[in-house]
Amino acid sequence: MKYLAPSILSADFWNLQKDITATLDGRADIIHFDVMDGLFVPNITVGPYVLECLKKHIPNTTFDAHLMIKDPDRYIKDFVEAGASMISVHIEEVVHIHRTIELIKHLGAKAGVAINPGTSLEVLDEILYYVDFVLLMSVNPGFGGQSFIERSIYRAKSLKQKIKDKNLNVLIEMDGGLKLENIHLVKDYVDIFVIGSGIFKAPDITAMTKSLKQVLSDV
């Protein structure tokens, strides 16, 4: 099963309700919620209160909080309580990654480790045994609308092989620069497709969501 996760970073925040509803009308599976603190990445976005407001109105929607912040342990509980059922933290930031992953799982959410394009996949070797998913960044985190880094195709392929070799059940989520025109490049390796500008900057958000879902459902 392939999942489509619109990233609301590229939504029109004046029309957030309308934009999110448009993706759900197109049968988006997960809402990707990017959290940035201006320190780990050079941008600032939204926090648990915004997530809580969204979750209150669409309680059956799965929210995936991608924490691009310093010392994320401080806020994991807040995001779970606000309604995130998937949480990822960056391997580049978290020193005691095993402890943090266990904390996320203990709080009842699916735990993910996120990895930047410039970080070797080898650092995942041990933590792969504990996570539910890996968030493979295909741009440098911080902004929507950046170009897809081509080497991410190879990285997705080798990560999938690694997971298979270890006989693990870990999903691969890819985030950054994905669009209708290029998802076929990684379709065989990726399970969760995060798409921001490729959905929210489209003239018809629902139609674009449906087209993406169609491509992902074609075998």
Q: Which of residues 54-73 bind Zn ion (CB under 5 A)?
A: 66
The alpha carbon of 199 is separated from its chain's Cα centroid by a whole number of angstroms, namely 14
Any catalytic annotation for residue 132? no
Q: How far apart are CA 35 and CA 67, in angstroms?
A: 5
Please select the residue that binds ligand DX5; options are 80, 156, 190, 194, rule is CB under 6 A.
194
Tell the smallest beta-carbon distance from residue 205 to ligand DX5 (Å): 13
- Residue closer to Zn ion (CB basis): 97 or 192: 192
Closest listed residue to residue 3, CA positions, set 165, 187, 164:
187
Any catalytic annotation for residue 175? yes
For 33, the token pair is 């919620």
Secondary structure of 31-97 in HEC code, one letter for each residue: EEEEEEECCCCCCECCCHHHHHHHHHHCCCCEEEEEEECCCHHHCHHHHHHHCEEEEEEECCCCCCH
Tell the smallest beta-carbon distance from residue 82 to ligand DX5 (Å): 18
Please select the residue that binds ligand DX5; options are 176, 186, 193, 216, rule is CB under 6 A.
176
Q: Which residues are known to be catalytic?
A: 34, 175
Binding residues (CB under 6 A) for ligand DX5: these are 7, 9-10, 32, 34, 66, 139, 141-142, 144-146, 175-178, 194-198
